[in-house]
């Protein structure tokens, strides 16, 4: 991708992104990589500074940062970007981008720093509005090689407190004389993404002084303004994080909460509603879909359901392109999937063998059991690692629907082994809703284990009934 300019740029070094570069869409970037040739980006819109139309929203944003100290404790080692011009490949001549020999990136030029340029990231409108240098409390210009991506929420529900007005706020702070140290790289809302700082410069957002939160982390703020759609804003953030992982090489394990650095309960909505793991899983889904790795589900009858649950962050693979759709799923795993699907509130249910479950599944067991959707085996045991049967999975899915106020019709079952089903009514209701089917040869196989592929289909069918009233 070539963008003409005559100003200062930064070369990629070991996968590091640039001082200031419009992020292109997934589709545009993948096409560039596949074709291995330069293309031209037509910048949409103009380069005028964004103008706020909501003075009240700006006042609310300013008020929300009155007590914020993004720098935090500790000393700060100011390694300015300008002092690293030679070693980091910054030069003044023609504006070409030098790609190291060991880089796997295609050669492309970059945009100069400008008040506003526009593009898209995977279909989400994106505006680059890098704040001017001069106020070290907002843009300290310390060189940074990002190793983490830190997720924040704005904690400001005021009408109009979206991405654009946060961009305007940071600009106002940067050109003013504020001694309030608070800045970050991106703000995302339900409509758009704004970039405020270059990716190889730090912001003050983590509250850990000279620690890795501030000095090695790209910061993303998700807007929670009441006139926006929070779920859509979170989805837009997932797309941005997946793109940044590709651009910077930051691994999935280094996508972290603000809480990691300072202990602050942030991003509060995700933490309080048990949605952090769902967020990270969904980022992985977007990332994997971008590169379309070889997998073991393509062409299978379960493919559509698995990909949809993966996209939603409900169900993930086992790594290296392996989903294992034919592996039997355990009681603990099934409980976690129900919890993820229904976004169940925190629970305090306890079982004697809870610690036998994988640590990532224990919270899902507690949430699902506390909601009355799943029960233990008796005598205080849950039996988390035992494969769940097809009859048990039907009981749990039926209780999940009833938890949402949905009662399917009790219909006759066509299966020749229906008399082997102990809890027949649960299967009858799910069959009446179109959620469960037989396994062939006119059998339901109630005592047989439930595979991951079957589970994905059960869960997606359940969600379609909850969301749309019927299985699509």
Please give the chain's pLDDT, 472 residues, in tens.
222 222 333 322 222 222 333 333 223 333 333 332 222 222 233 334 444 457 888 888 787 777 777 677 654 455 554 433 323 333 222 222 222 233 222 222 223 234 456 789 988 999 999 999 989 999 999 999 999 999 999 999 999 999 999 999 999 999 887 778 899 999 999 999 999 999 999 999 998 988 999 999 999 999 999 999 999 999 999 999 999 998 998 999 999 999 999 999 999 999 999 999 999 999 998 888 775 556 788 888 899 999 999 989 999 888 766 889 999 999 999 999 999 999 999 999 999 999 999 999 999 999 999 999 999 988 899 999 999 999 999 999 999 999 999 999 999 999 999 999 999 999 999 999 999 988 878 899 999 999 999 999 999 999 999 999 998 8
Residues 384 and 272 in one domain: no
Sorted by sequence, the CB contacts under 8 Å of residue 9 that are 6+ apart come out as 18, 19, 90, 91, 95, 96, 97, 109, 110, 112
Residue 334 CA: distances (Å) to CA of 312, 338, 472: 16, 6, 22
CA–CA separation, 324 and 318 (whole Å): 7
Structure tokens at 339: 């919890």
> For 319-373, what is the HEC assignment?
CCCCCCCCCECEHHHHHHHHHHHHCCCCCCCCCCCHHHCCCCCHHHHHHHHHCCC
| Helices and strands: H and E segment counts in the chain | 15, 7
Residue 99 lies in a domain: yes
Residues 132 and 260 in one domain: yes
Residues 234 and 298 in one domain: no
Residues 385 and 417 in one domain: yes
Strand 217-222, strand 255-257: pairing: unpaired
Residue 252 lies in a domain: yes
Q: Catalogue the E-assigned strands of 215-274.
A: 217-222, 255-257
Total-model pTM = 0.52
Contact assessment for residue 460 and residue 305, using Cβ atoms and an 8 Å cutoff: yes
Contact assessment for residue 72 and residue 262, using Cβ atoms and an 8 Å cutoff: yes
Residues 147 and 274 in one domain: yes
Q: How many CB atoms lie within 10 A of CB 265?
A: 14
The number of folded domains in the chain is 2
Domain that holds residue 158: 26-280
Structure tokens at 106: 């295609």
Structure tokens at 228: 């926006």
């Amino acid at each position: 991708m070539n963008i003409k300019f005559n100003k200062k740029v930064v070369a990629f070094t070991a996968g590091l992104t640039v001082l200031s570069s419009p992020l292109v869409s997934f589709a545009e970037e993948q096409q560039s990589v596949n074709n291995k040739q330069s293309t031209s980006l037509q910048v949409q819109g103009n380069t005028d500074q964004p103008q706020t139309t909501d003075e009240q929203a700006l006042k609310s944003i300013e008020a929300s940062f009155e007590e914020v100290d993004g720098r935090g404790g500790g000393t700060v080692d100011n390694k300015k970007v300008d002092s690293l011009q030679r070693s980091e490949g910054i030069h003044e001549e023609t504006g070409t981008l030098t790609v190291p020999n060991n880089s796997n990136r295609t050669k492309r030029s970059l945009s100069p720093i400008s008040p506003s340029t526009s593009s898209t990231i995977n279909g989400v409108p994106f505006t680059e509005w890098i704040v001017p240098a001069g106020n070290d409390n907002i843009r300290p210009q310390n060189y940074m090689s990002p190793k983490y991506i830190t997720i924040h929420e704005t904690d400001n529900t005021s009408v109009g407190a979206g991405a654009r007005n946060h961009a305007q706020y940071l600009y106002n702070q940067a050109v003013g004389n504020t001694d309030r140290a608070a800045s970050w790289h991106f703000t995302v809302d339900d409509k758009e993404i704004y970039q405020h700082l270059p990716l190889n410069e730090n912001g003050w957002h983590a509250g850990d002084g000279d620690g890795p939160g501030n000095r090695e982390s790209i910061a993303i703020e998700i807007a929670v303004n009441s006139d926006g759609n929070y779920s859509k804003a979170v989805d837009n953030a997932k797309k941005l994080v997946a793109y940044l992982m590709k651009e910077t090489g930051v691994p999935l394990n280094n996508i972290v909460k603000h809480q990691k650095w300072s202990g602050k309960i942030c991003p509060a909505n995700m933490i309080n509603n048990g949605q952090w793991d769902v967020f990270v899983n969904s980022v992985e889904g977007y990332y994997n879909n971008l590169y379309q790795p070889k997998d073991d589900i393509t062409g299978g009858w379960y493919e559509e359901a698995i990909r949809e649950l993966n996209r939603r962050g409900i169900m993930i693979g086992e790594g290296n392109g392996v989903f294992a759709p034919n592996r039997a799923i355990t009681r603990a795993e099934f409980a976690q999937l129900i919890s993820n699907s229904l976004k169940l509130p925190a629970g305090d249910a306890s079982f004697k063998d809870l610690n036998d479950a994988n640590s990532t599944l224990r919270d899902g067991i507690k949430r699902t059991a506390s909601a009355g959707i799943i029960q233990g085996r008796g005598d205080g045991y849950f039996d988390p690692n035992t494969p769940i049967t097809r009859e048990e999975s039907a009981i749990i899915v039926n209780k999940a629907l009833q938890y949402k106020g949905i009662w399917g019709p009790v219909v006759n079952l066509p299966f020749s082994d229906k008399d082997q089903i102990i809890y027949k009514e649960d299967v009858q209701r799910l069959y009446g809703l179109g959620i469960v089917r037989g396994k062939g040869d006119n059998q339901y196989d109630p005592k047989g284990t439930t595979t991951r592929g079957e589970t994905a289909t059960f869960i997606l069918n359940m969600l379609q009934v909850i969301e749309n009233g019927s299985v699509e």
